Amino acid sequence: MEIKTLKIGKKNNKLTESIIHDLRASEDIGVNKCIQCGMCTSVCPASRHSDYDSREIAKRVLEEDESVICDDIIWNCFSCYSCHSICPVGNSVAEIVQILRQKAIAQGKLEQVVTFLAFGESLMELGIGSIPLEYFNILIEIIGDEYLDIKINLDDIREELGLGKLTLPDDDTRDIKIILEKTGFTNRLEKLRAYKESNKNSKHKG
Amino acid sequence: MKKIPDKDILIFKSCLVSGEYPGVESSTKYLFDKLGVEYVLDERQSCCTGLGYYFDLFDQFSTTALAARNFAIAREIEHKNIATLCATCYAILKKACNILNENDTVRNRINQIFKDSKMDHMEYSPGDFDSHSNIFHAAEILWNKTAEIKEIPKIDLSNFKIASHHACHYCKVHYKEETIGNMRNPMIIEELAKTCGVETVDWYDHKRTTCGAGFRQRFANLDLSLSVTADKLLSLQENDVDILLHMCPNCQMQFDRYQPVIEKKLNTKFDLVHLNIAQFLALAMGADPYKVVGVQTHTVPLDNILERINQASPVVI
C-alpha cells in the first residue's frame, strides 16, 4: 500500500537537512513539522496573484523533490515573511525559498540575479547599494522625469536637510572591499560578470 | 515589554532613506533633538546589504561580516543602541547579531578575516551586542516617548484620516519576541499618530499585506508587484484614508512612486498621500516641510496637508 503521510517511511532527507542547517535558516525552523495546513498560502501575496503556492513549496521540500530548486516559480516569493509569521509550527517558506534560490545559483542558474549585479558593485565601491541602471531607466520611464530630477538634485536636497555625505570615506570603502574579497563575495560578483559577458556575446552572435 | 533606550543611540543610515526620502533621517533627528534622545550618526557605517540580500545577490556570511564591521563602529564610539530607519536594516541586523553570538564557526571565520586584514579592532566577541536590547527601529524609540510627544504643541490635523503600514520586516521577521504589541495587528504607528489628535483606522482589510515591492519583484516582475500594491491601495480607498503612515523607506517608495502608475492602470484616483511616521510627527510639530521633512523628494504631492499646515500654528492638543 502506498504510504500517504509525508514523513513515515521517508528514507532520504538530504534536501530538508541541508535547508535546516543552512546559515539563512532560523535556528528552530520547523521544516519537518509542516502539517500542510495551508495557512502560509492563505496569507501569501505571490500565491494570491500567481501560480506560486507556499504550501506546495513546503510539500515538495518535505518530499525531497529536488526539482523545486530549478523551478522558476520559486523566484515569485516577495520575502514578506507573512508565511513565516503565521505558521503554527515555526516553519518558514520564505526562508526555504531563499535557501532554494541560493542552491539554484550554486548550480549555475544565474539569470535571476545577474540583473542585480550593479547593486553589489555599488556597495563595493561606495559602501551603499544602488538601483541597477537598467531598472533605474525603467523607473524614470514609468514614474516620470520628476524622479530623475530628484536624483540629480539629491546632493543639494541632502545639504538643505543638513545631512552628511551619501557615500563612505575612501578608507572605509577600501576596508569593505577587503572584507568582501575574503568572504567570497567578490568572487561571486566576478562569476556574475563573466556570465553577463558570455550572454552578451552569445546574443551578438545570435 | 522590552526596555527601549533614549541615549547612546546610533542612528543607522539606510540606503533607501538616503537616496529616496532623506527627509526621514532629518525628521528623525529633529524629533530626537526635541525629545532629548541622545544619538550620533557615523560616516563610516555601511549599508546593511539588505536589498542585495533579498535580491539573492548577498550571501548570509558576507552580510554578517559587514554587520560585524558596523557593530564594531557602534562599539568603538560607545553608542551601542542601534536605531534603524528601515525595517529591512532592522531585521538584517538582528539576524546577523544572533548569528555572531551563537554560531562559533561563523564568528571565528569573520574574526579571522578581520585579523588577516589588520582590522583586529573589529573583532566580535559573543555578547558584544544583544539583538533584543541593542537593536531597535527608530519608531520604537519614538513610541517609547509617546507621553512626551503628547505634551509638545502640534498643528491640528484632526481632519485627516490616518492608517498605518507597519512594514513586514519590522513585524513579521523576528515576530516571536520583538514586535511591540500584537504582531497580527501592530499599533505603534497608530499610537504615535493619535498624539496629534487624528482619527486612525486601526484595522482595514490587507493591513498586514506587504507593500508589494517584493525586492526583486518590483524590478523583475513589475505586474505581479503592482497587483499586490493595488490590493492594499483599494482597501485604503474603501476606508477613505487620507494619509498612509510608514516606517520603512522601501514600502514608502512602493506606494509613493507607483501610486500614480497604479491609478492609470486601474483608471481610478487615490486621494492618499504617504509619509513616514517621523515625517508626519515633525510636520505636526511645525518643522519646515522642505528643510526638515523633505517633501521635495515625494512623488505624490502633499499639497492638502501642506495647505493645512500653512494655515495653522502648533498648539497643545
* Class (C level, CATH) for B9-138: mainly alpha
Stretch among A87-96, A192-201, B133-142 having the lowest mean pLDDT: A192-201
- Kindly determine whether residue B57 and residue A132, on different chains, have CB atoms separated by under 8 Å: no
- φ, ψ of residue A77 to 5 degrees: the values are -65, 140
**Stretch 10-69 of chain A: residues touching chain B, C-beta under 8 Å:** 22-24, 27, 43, 45-46, 48-50
Report the percent of chain A where pLDDT is more than 70. 93
Domains of chain A: 14-106 (1.10.1060.10), 114-205 (no CATH)
**Does residue B65 carry a pLDDT above 90?**
yes
Sort A64 into a burial class: Cβ within 10 Å, 0-12 / 13-18 / 19+.
Answer: middle
Q: Residue A175 pLDDT > 90, yes or no?
A: yes
Residue A40 to chain B, least CA–CA distance (Å) = 13
A161 CB neighbours in chain B (<8 A) are 22-23, 25-26, 291-292, 294
Beta-carbon contacts of residue A203 (< 8 Å; ≥ 6 apart): none
The pLDDT confidence band at residue B250, using thresholds 50, 70 and 90, is: very high
Q: Which helix (H) or strand (E) holds B163?
A: strand B161-165
ipTM: 0.96
Alpha-carbon distance of A40 to A91, in angstroms, equals 9
* CB neighbour list of residue B184: distance below 8 Å, 6 or more residues apart: B208
Domain ranges of chain B: 9-138, 149-311
Q: For position B42, what pLDDT does the model report?
A: 98
At B217, the amino acid letter reads: Q
Model pLDDT for residues B29-39, shown as the tens digit of each residue: 999 999 999 99
Q: Helix, strand, or coil here: B12?
A: strand
Chain A residues touching B292 at Cβ < 8 A: 161
Nearest Cα residue to B178 out of B213, B141, B137: B137
Closest CA in chain B for residue A158: B22
In what side-by-side order are the strands of the sheet with B135-137? B39-40, B9-12, B81-84, B135-137
Compute, in degrees rounded to 10, the torsion defined by CA atoms B99, B100, B105, B107. 150
- pLDDT score for A87: 96
pLDDT tens readout for residues B153-188:
999 998 899 999 999 999 999 987 667 777 788 899
Give mean pLDDT, residues B196-220: 94
Which amino acid is it at A192?
L
pLDDT value for B99: 98
Which string of DSSP letters, residue by residue, matches B190-254?
A: HHHHGGGT-EE----TTTTS--S-TTHHHHH-HHHHHHHHHHHHHHHHHTT-SEEEES-HHHHHH
CATH tag, B149-311 = 3.40.50.11810
